[in-house]
Chain A
Amino acid sequence: MEPVWQIPRPALFWLLFTQVALAGLHSDHLTLWLLGAGALVLGWRIQIYRGRWRYPGPWSKAVLVLLCGGAILASYGRLHGLEPMVALLWSGFILKLLEMQRRRDALILVCLGYFVAVTQCLFSQTPGTALATLGGVFLVTVVLAALHRRAEAGYWQPLRTAAVLLGQAVPLMLILFLVMPRLGSLWTVPQPRQGATGVSDLLAPGDLSRLGASGEVAFRVKFDGAPPPHNQLYWRGLVLARFDGRNWSRIEPGPLPGPGAPRGDGAGPQSREVAVERLGAPRRYQTIFEPSGETWLFALETPVPESADVTLNDDLTLTRATPLVSRWSHSLTSWMDYRAAVEGLGDGRRAMATALPGTANPRTRTLAARWRGEVDSDAALVERVLALYNRDYVYSLDAPLLGRDSIDEFLWQTRRGFCEHFASSFVFILRAAGVPARVVVGYQGGEYHPDAGYLIVHQYDAHAWAEVWLAGRGWVRVDPTAAVAPERIQTSVADLLGGERQFLADSPLSLLRFRGIRWVDRLRLQFDYADYLWAQWVLGYEYRQERLLTGWLGAWDPWRLGFFVLGAGALALLPVLLGQLRVARRLPRPPLEQLFERYCRQLEQCGVTRARGEAPRALAERVARERPDLAAAAAAISGLLEAGVYGGAKPDLADLRRRIRRLG
C-alpha cells in the first residue's frame, strides 16, 4: 500500500505563491468577488496544512462551487464568453486546492495552472504580457518540480530545476514556432470584450475630439514602395450616410459585386452605380491593426484586400469577417486615383445620399436653399461652403457642447470645432441643397518612423471628412477641415493642436507629450519600433512564415521542413545530451581502490582469480595455497592495502604500485 501522500512543504508554498501571482496577472478580468473567494480558499488550505481545519465535506464543496458559479454569473451576466470562461477556470484552479489529497490532484491543479496562465495572452499581446505570462508558466513549472522533490531539498532547488529545464526548452520552442503550420480558426470561439478606443460607426459631435485625447496606436503601415505624401493619407474606415438630426450612422453596405479583386479594367459585371475605375499606379502596403474589437478596417482609397476574410463593400470600405480582437496584419493594394459611380446614382441611392429627416437645423436648411439658387453648379456650391469655413471658423479639440439644433449652433454661434463638426455641417448643407453627400470617418495622416520607415497612425489622427457626388466626376473627396486648417492635412494634428489641454488627456504618461525633447522622442520611436517588430515577427508570424522558411530552405515542402526540424532539433538537444553525459560520468575512484583492482588483474594473469567479495587478506591466503612462489609478495601487498583501506594508514602509493607491477 502506498503511504498517504503529503504535499511537500515547498510545493505547497510555491503553489500558493503561484496562485496569488496568477490572480494578480488576471486581476483585470476577475471580479472582486472571485478574488475574495480565492483569498478564502487560500486561507483554508493553509489552515489544513497547519492541521487546524479539515478538508471540506461534499456539502461545503457544493456550496463553494455554487457560490463561485453564482458570483461569476452575477458579475459577468453570462457564462459563455471568454471572460466568464477564464473566471470559471480560475475558480476551478483555486477550488481544487481544497481537494488536493493525492499527488494526482496536485497534477490536475498544475495543468489547470498552465492553462490559466496562458489564457492571459488571449486578452493582451504586448511584450509585457508575454513576459508576465512566461513568468506564470515558470512558476507553475516550479510547482511541478517541487511536487517531485522531497521537502528536504528546500525551497530554491525547484526554482533552479524549472529554470534549467525551461531554459533548455527555449530552442525547441523556437524551432516549433518557426516551423509548425498555423491552420487558422477551426471553429468560432468567444472573443474577449475589448474596451478599446477607436473610430465608431456612430458619429456625434465631439466623438472624434475625444479620440484626440488618446495617444494609442491605431495601426501601423509599411508601404512597399515610397510612401504617399501626408495630405493624401486618407484612411477610410466607415461611410456614414444616415443622419437622424444629430448623429451620423452607417447604412449597412453590401459587398461590391463582381470578383473580389477587380484589376483595372472591368473584371466581371458590376452594377453601374457602384462601378469603380482604378487609375494610375497601384500602391501595395501592409497594415498591422491594433485590436479594435470591431469588424471595420482602415485603408487608403479603393483598396483590394489580399485576405479571404476581408470583404470589399460597395461603398469601398473593408469589412472583416470577425472582430479584430488581437493584433492583425494584412496586406492591401490601393489605387488612390480612381473614379467611382461616374455614370450616375440610381434613385434609391440618390435619395439615401440626400436624406435629411426631420426639421431640425432650420437656419441651415434655409441658407442651403438660398445658396442653391445663387450658384450654377454643385461644385460651385462646394466652393462656397468651404470659403465660409475658411473665413470665420476655428479648428480646435476644445469644441463647445452643442444642443438640439447642433448644426445651426455650430455654424452661427460656437464656430469652433473639430473635424466632425466641419464634415457633419458640410454634408448637411449639401444635402439640404439637394447634392448627394456623405460623411466618411477614419484617420488622416500618420507619423513616419524616421529609421524604420513605417507609418504610425495614432488615435488622435482620427478624422472625418466628406464625399460629394458630382455629375461627371462621381464621388469626390472633400475635406472641409483642409479649408479651415490646411496644416492639419499637411503635417499632423500633434503639431497643430499639441498645445491644447485635451490633446493626449487620456494618455498622461505617453512619451508623445515630450515630443519636443529630442532624446525622449527618439526613445519613444525606438519603443514603437520594438513593438512594430514584435507585431511583425511574433504576432503576425503566420504572414511571414512561408516566405521566411522558403528563403532559408530554398523551397516550402514537407520533406525540407522535416529535415530542418530534425537537424535543428538535434542541434538544440545536443548541449542537453552532452550535459547529461558530463554529469553522468563516473567520479574518479579512490587511488587505493584502483590499485586493488590492478592487483586483482595482475593476480588473474598469474592464475588466481579473486572471488566476489573476497577481502585482500583472504586473497593473499589463497595465493599462498595456489601460487606459493608469490605468497610473500601477495601477503605484503594485501597487508598494505588492508592497512590503507581499513586501518586508515597512508601507504606509500608509488611503492605499492611498484610491488604490484613486480607481481607479474
Chain B
Amino acid sequence: MPGLRAAFDRRYQQWLDRRLPSVPACRLENRRLFIFPSGAGALYGALLVVLWLTATNFENNLVFGLTFLLAGLFVIAIFHTYGNLHGLELVPLRAGNGFAGQDVDFVLEIRNDGRRPREGIRLSYAGGESCEVHLGAGEHRRVRLSVPATRRGWLDPGRLTIASVYPLGLLRVWSHVRLETRALVYPHPVASGPTRQVLPVASEAGGASVPGREEFAALESYKQGEPKSRIAWKHHARGLGLHTKHFTDPVDQRRWLDWDDFPGLDTEARLSRLCGAALAADAGPGAYGLRLPGQVIAPGSGRPHREQVLRALALFGLPEVVR
C-alpha cells in the first residue's frame, strides 16, 4: 500500500508543519516534544505481561510486587527520558556550501542551560548521518551535521530530528524541529577539457602580463647570470649600483565561461560543465568571467569572485528565495 503510506506521510508532515512551524531557533518545550515507548520498551512491556501472568498463576505476591516495581520503573523512566530533552535550545549557526552529489555541513549549537547533564542525545537530518552528544550542566556545544546534497540551489535540510532514549532505553523522546537554515548547493562540477576561450583582447589597464620585452616594468638589483644586455649602464655610470631592466608583455588571459560554449546540452549539464570550468579557471592563473543568459559576471579572480560565479551557477533559473 505505498499510496496509503505516502498519503499518511504527507498528512503527518502537514500536521507537523502546522504544529511545529519553522523557527530561527528553538527551545524544546512541551509542545515540541513527543514521547513513546521504544522497541526495547515494547519488549519490556511484554516482560511485564509475562511476569504478571506468572504472578497470577502462581498466586505469588512477591512476584506481583516485583512486577509492579518494574511497571513503576517504566512510569518513572517517562519523566527522566522526557526531562533529558526538555529545555534544551537549538540554534543554527551556519551552513557550509557544497556541490551537488556531496555532503553539505550544517553547524548548529545545542545549549543546555539547565542544572543537569544531558546524556545520549542523537541529532540527525533526514538522510544524513546522525551524531550523539552529551552535555554537562550549562554546557553549549557545537554540532556539525552533514546532509547529502542532491540538487543545486538552496538546500533546506528539512526537519532536524533530536531524540534520546536515556536513561533506560525504554522510551524515546524526540522532536522534529524545523530550523531556519539553508545551504547553497553548487552544480555538480563536470570537467570539460581545456576551454578554448583564451581571448587575445585589446590591451586594457589591469590586464595580466607575463615577463617579456614589450613594456618596461621595473629596475631590479642585478643577480648573477642575468644577461648583460639588460644591465642599466646609465644607472651604473651615475654610481647607483648594478641594476637590470625588466620588461613584460601584456597578455590578456581573461577567460569567458560562456553558456553558449556547450551547445546541445540541457541546462543542468551546461551548468555542471560551467561549474567544472569555473573551478579549473579558479585554480589556474588569470581572471575569468561568466556569461549566462540574462546575466554576465565580469572577469575577476579571488575568493569573493569565485563565490559570486558559483552562486550564479547554483541559482540560475531558480528563484532567489525558496522555502
Contact = CB atoms under 8 A, between A and B. Distances in A.
A binds B: yes
Interface stretch (A437-445, A476-484, A584-592): A584-592
A182 B59 CA distance: 8
Interface stretch (B46-54, B191-199, B287-295, B307-315): B46-54
Given A133-B62, A584-B83, A587-B113, A187 B57 contact: yes
Nearest to A2: B130
Interface string B59-93: 11111111111111101110110110011000000
A121 B165 CA distance: 31
A585 B115 contact: yes
A48 interface: no
B69 A587 contact: no
Given A107-B40, A169-B69, A148 B166 contact: yes
A118 B137 contact: no
30 contacts: A107-B43, A115-B47, A118-B51, A118-B63, A118-B66, A121-B62, A122-B63, A130-B62, A134-B66, A137-B66, A137-B70, A141-B168, A149-B120, A149-B167, A153-B119, A165-B73, A168-B72, A168-B76, A170-B72, A172-B76, A173-B71, A177-B65, A180-B68, A186-B56, A326-B60, A542-B59, A573-B75, A580-B80, A580-B82, A586-B87
Interface of A: 103-104, 107-108, 111, 114-115, 117-119, 121-122, 125, 129-130, 133-134, 137, 141, 144-145, 147-150, 153, 161, 165-166, 168-173, 176-177, 180, 182-187, 189, 191, 325-326, 538-542, 573, 576-577, 580, 582-587, 589, 612
* Pairs of residues from A and B, 9 with the lowest C-beta to C-beta distance, nearest first: A172-B72, A169-B72, A176-B68, A583-B116, A121-B62, A173-B69, A580-B83, A173-B68, A586-B113
B169 interface: yes
B114 A584 contact: yes
Main DSSP-derived SS at the B contact region? helix
A332 B46 CA distance: 39
B168 A148 contact: yes
A133 B167 CA distance: 22
Nearest to A127: B62
A510 to B, nearest CB: 24
A326 B58 contact: yes
A137 B168 contact: no
Contact of A177 (B40, B60, B68, B119): B68
Contact of B169 (A119, A148, A166, A538): A148
A602 B108 CA distance: 29
Contact of B114 (A134, A145, A186, A583): A583
B87 A538 contact: no
Contacts of A173: 65, 68-69, 71-72
B44 interface: yes
B134 interface: yes
Contacts of B70: 114, 137, 169
A114 B120 contact: no
A172 B57 contact: no
B138 interface: yes
Contact of B71 (A150, A176, A587): A176
Nearest to B170: A144
B225 interface: no
A107 B56 contact: no
A185 B83 contact: no
Main DSSP-derived SS at the A contact region? helix
Given A118-B51, A586-B114, A172 B44 contact: no
Contacts of B137: 587
A511 to B, nearest CB: 25
A612 B83 CA distance: 29
**Residue among B50, B56, B113 with max Cβ neighbours from chain A (10 Å):** B56
A137 B113 CA distance: 34
B168 A584 contact: no
Contact of A122 (B56, B58, B134, B165): B58
B66 A121 contact: yes
A153 B120 CA distance: 11
B58 to A, nearest CB: 6
A168 B77 CA distance: 10
Contacts of B44: 111
B285 interface: no
B64 A186 contact: no
Nearest to B83: A580
A149 B116 CA distance: 15
Nearest to A576: B79
A108 B43 contact: yes
A144 B86 contact: no
B190 to A, nearest CB: 28
A585 B60 contact: no
A285 B82 CA distance: 52
Contact of A186 (B39, B57, B134): B57
Given A108-B43, A141-B73, A576-B76, 17 more contacts: A107-B40, A107-B43, A134-B66, A149-B120, A165-B167, A169-B69, A177-B61, A177-B65, A186-B57, A187-B57, A189-B57, A189-B58, A573-B79, A577-B79, A587-B113, A587-B114, A587-B115
Nearest to B63: A121
Contacts of B47: 111, 114-115
Contacts of A189: 54, 57-58
Nearest to B132: A150
Contacts of B82: 580
Given A137-B69, A176-B68, A180-B68, A125 B60 contact: yes
Given A118-B51, A144-B169, A584-B87, A165 B77 contact: yes
Given A108-B43, A133-B62, A576-B76, A145 B57 contact: no
B24 interface: yes
Contacts of A183: 56
A587 B138 contact: yes
Given A122-B58, A183-B56, A172 B119 contact: no
Nearest to B138: A587
Contacts of B168: 141, 144-145, 148, 165
Contact of B115 (A141, A186, A583): A583
**Residue among A118, A122, A180, A184 with max Cβ neighbours from chain B (10 Å):** A118
A371 B130 CA distance: 100
A146 to B, nearest CB: 10
A582 B165 CA distance: 21
A544 to B, nearest CB: 11
A187 B65 CA distance: 21
A169 B56 contact: no
Contact of B72 (A153, A176, A538): A176
Contacts of A612: 24
A536 to B, nearest CB: 11
